[in-house]
Structure 1
């Protein structure tokens, strides 16, 4: 009888440990990038160097995941300091007033194979809008240190005018839409 209770207790504990598993981006292997058309003939590319987030799931296929993700707007990096500084002003992200862009999921549904649909709310500046993203699960493996890691990627077209980023309202010099790509390698979140 004691063995049965011990077995049940260990099973419950192992389930509870998995159920409470939280994942966070590995900043060395995760990227938030964008591309936007310039002058109608070429493109500017860039990235955000500082971001954080968390994925919490109880199911092994992550279909019940809750996701939140925050990007520091002042960390924008296009490789040109003058342009970076302009993008931080009220013409674009107004980083001093709105230091963060935030995404909070409302659902994460498995479609087929490694494809998911992620639904949530995206906040940029003073605007929050619903978004639906197609997400690809890259899989699970162990890194060089023997720690478990998982990978996800997604992309979206973002209309900057929807979020009060209204510099150049004609869209001739700076296009109205940016292509955003997010590549995440997640590792178990370290306890504080």
Structure 2
């Protein structure tokens, strides 16, 4: 009987395996370094100090003024590089206030904002074009009453610094303006009384509660006032 030759074992491709392992190690080890060099921090919108003001023509007599408080959301921001900033904000429509309970109820009704069916408006930024160190044009998608449209915000950075009141968190403050057409969002009722052009002004504060801020607070500072409660806005 002739013995069959033993099957040949495949030789490990040590050169290829080594190169692959080395490439994976380099790729993954570079990720933390990229995160550190970006310099962007994540902030949370302060619903108490973030407010949307709107102005719309009232039968040609005046421009009715209203506000919406209580917005929430996340801002990723690096003061030195606006181009990578990102914002996602949610606005509770039930907080619309025109200074009169019946007027508020009419505004939230199905024929206008339809707040029962669409309780929130939402803005998600898509790109940021810096103008200078303190100003930028922010483009994004506004979803209102179930309709999404691109809007452009003219944004001014007011300050980025540690808040002087407890808990002394680093805070970024912004002002922004834009104009929208209510018809673009399907809000077409009462054309003879309510104008189509809506002016929006946003005042926003966003706080960062990261480790650096807690460490700064722990070290103490003569410029920090006594730990008294923040006054009610």
Common fold by TM > 0.5: yes
Q: Which residue of 2 aligns with 1:182?
A: 202
1:189: Cα distance to partner? 5.5
Higher relative contact order (CA 8 A, sep 6+): 1
Matched, 1:167 2:189: yes
Q: Distance in 1 between matches of 2:35 and 2:109?
A: 49
Q: Deviations over 1:101-123 (max 9, x none)?
A: 11111112212131111011111
Match of 2:83 in 1: 63
* Structure 2 unaligned residues grouped into runs of 5+: 1-31, 211-233
TM-score (norm 1): 0.83
Max Rg structure: 2
Report deviation, 1:182.
0.3
Q: Which runs of 5+ in 1 are unaligned?
A: 1-10
Q: Normalized per residue, which structure has more strand?
A: 1
Deviation at 1:16, TM superposition (A): 7.5
Range 138-147 or range 31-40, more displaced:
138-147
For 1:53, the equivalent position in structure 2 comes to 73
Q: Is the 8 A contact 2:50 2:69 kept in 1?
A: no
Conserved 8 A contact 1:93-1:165: yes
Alignment of 1:19-98 (within 5 A): 19=40, 21-57=41-77, 60-98=80-118
The list of structure 1 runs, each at least 4 consecutive aligned residues, that deviate by more than 3 angstroms after superposition, is 11-14, 16-19, 57-62
Q: Cα RMSD over matched residues?
A: 2.4
Aligned to 1:100: 120
2:7 aligns with none
- Aligned pair count reads 178
Is 2:118–2:145's contact at 8 Å kept on the other side of the alignment? yes
Q: CA deviation at 1:13?
A: 10
Kindly indicate which of the two structures has a greater share of residues assigned to helix: 2
